[in-house]
């Protein structure tokens, strides 16, 4: 077997293993809860969106009405680690439930990385420890954003927050994804990617290897330092989290608005990457000739509004019947919808197309 065939076989095994683990975990959890728990006789569910920057937890009743909400720090497994993720998830669920004497009928957790078998096993173990013996379903955070923006229908969600990913489903219940490989290997077009590019642009300008840029003054002010060389101390000695690098995206938008050459190149590159990821998903799901919605989700589309407008212009060129919308609601609402499906007999989770 040649190298290309071995790689392809490994990828297909990984996809199949994730689907198998997700199904067995869901079945195991359903066996734990064969009767309805509730507060004052009414069933409740929890939906969680665990992102790189923040974690949002919603407690909802059987009609999907939000009863309470809680917010915590980002709970990305690669950035925060297992123990910190467990602490954050436990805290936000406890805060959302408060002093109500209830056990949720179902919990849906949307979190990055669970398409990888090792990460799924870690997160599944966390939820076994803190999941109230409720029915628990763990999905990619992109799915809950898609369910929020295009409930039960075909669509492609493009997430650009601290990290980035494109994810979609078609009418046949098949899913595909592009990106989401983490800040070291991927996350192109994300806040981290944009912020890192801004830092590089400033250092290249200091070396006279790139154009002088308004980003220099903006980043020096942001970090409260007097010269570009001192940025190294800020980045390496303070061990900045990816979310702290991602916070520089707003500076890039400001410099872009001034016509800055470096900032313009960074944002056009980000648009290229996000467009490419979205269209890769749409093509694999045979959506480009269909009517569906591209959903833009994540804080970068607000910090850098030019990106949202640019993608809204570009994407219909390849998918003429598509529309593009900026997600205005909390992705955790999609997690509530999936939790309600799980509580009433089983959530409908798309299976990755092979």
Tell me how crowded residue 132 is: count the other CB atoms within 10 A of its CB.
18
- How distant, in Å, are the alpha carbons of 72, 83, 172 from that of 90? 10, 11, 35
3 state DSSP class of 344: coil
pLDDT recorded at residue 344: 86
Q: Tell me, what's the pLDDT at 24?
A: 42
Give the neighbor-by-neighbor strand order of the sheet with 351-352.
Answer: 323-326, 293-297, 155-160, 164-169, 174-179, 351-352
CA distance 298 to 191: 9
pTM: 0.82
Q: Residue 80: what pLDDT?
A: 74
**What's the confidence (pLDDT) of residue 119?**
83
Q: How far is CA 172 from CA 12, 152, 285, 330, in A?
A: 19, 11, 9, 26
CA pair distance 232, 163, nearest whole angstrom: 22
Among 272, 336, 270, 280, smallest CA distance to 303 is for 270
- What is the reported pLDDT for 61? 92
pLDDT score recorded for residue 217: 96
The residues, any chain, with a CB within 8 Å of residue 316's CB and separated by 6 or more, are: 322, 323, 324
Rounded to 5 degrees, φ, ψ at 89 are -65, -45
Phi and psi, residue 224, nearest 5°: 55, 50
Helices 141-149, 332-343: crossing angle, 10 deg rounding = 90
Q: What pLDDT score does 234 carry? A: 87
Cα 164 → chain centroid:
6
For residue 11, the model assigns a pLDDT of 41
Q: Could you give all domains of the chain from N- to C-terminal order, each with its CATH number?
A: 3-139+331-352 (3.30.420.40), 153-321 (3.30.420.40)
State the virtual CA torsion across 185, 327, 307, 314 in degrees, nearest 10: 100
Residue 20: the pLDDT is 46
pLDDT along the chain (354 residues), means of 10: 44 45 43 40 86 90 92 81 89 92 90 81 88 86 94 94 93 93 89 96 95 96 92 84 91 96 97 97 96 95 95 96 94 94 87 85
pLDDT at residue 41 in the model = 54
Round the CA-based radius of gyration of the chain to a whole number and report it: 21
CA distance 140 to 327: 17
């Amino acid at each position: 077997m040649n190298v290309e065939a071995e790689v392809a076989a490994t990828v297909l095994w990984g996809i199949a293993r994730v689907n198998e683990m997700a199904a067995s975990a869901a079945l195991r959890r359903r066996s734990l809860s064969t009767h309805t728990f509730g507060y004052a006789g009414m069933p409740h569910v929890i939906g969680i969106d665990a992102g790189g920057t923040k974690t949002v937890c919603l407690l909802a009743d059987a009609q999907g009405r939000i009863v309470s909400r809680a917010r915590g720090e980002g709970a990305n497994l690669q950035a925060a680690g297992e123990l910190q993720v467990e602490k954050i998830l436990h805290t936000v669920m406890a805060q959302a439930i408060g002093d109500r004497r209830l056990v949720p009928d179902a919990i849906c957790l949307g979190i990055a990385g669970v398409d990888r078998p090792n990460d799924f096993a870690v997160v599944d173990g966390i939820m076994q420890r803190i999941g109230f013996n409720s029915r628990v379903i763990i999905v990619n955070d992109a799915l809950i954003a898609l369910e929020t923006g295009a409930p039960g229908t075909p669509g492609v969600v493009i997430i650009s927050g601290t990290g980035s990913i494109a994810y979609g489903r078609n009418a046949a219940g098949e899913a595909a994804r592009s990106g989401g490989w983490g800040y070291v290997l991927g996350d192109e077009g994300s806040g981290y990617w944009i912020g890192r590019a801004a830092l590089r642009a400033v250092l290249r300008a200091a070396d006279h290897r790139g154009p002088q840029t308004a980003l220099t003054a903006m980043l020096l002010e942001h970090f409260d330092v007097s010269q570009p060389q001192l940025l190294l101390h800020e980045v390496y000695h303070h061990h900045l989290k990816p979310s702290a690098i991602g916070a520089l995206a707003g500076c890039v938008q400001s410099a872009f608005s001034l016509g800055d050459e470096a900032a313009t190149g960074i944002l056009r590159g980000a648009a290229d990457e996000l467009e490419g990821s979205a269209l890769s998903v749409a093509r694999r799901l045979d959506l480009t000739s269909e009517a569906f919605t591209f959903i833009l989700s994540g804080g970068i589309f607000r910090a850098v509004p030019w990106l949202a407008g640019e993608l809204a212009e570009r994407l219909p060129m390849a998918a003429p019947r598509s529309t593009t919308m900026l997600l205005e609601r909390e992705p955790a609402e999609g997690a509530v919808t999936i939790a309600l499906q799980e509580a009433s007999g089983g959530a409908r989770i798309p299976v990755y197309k092979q």
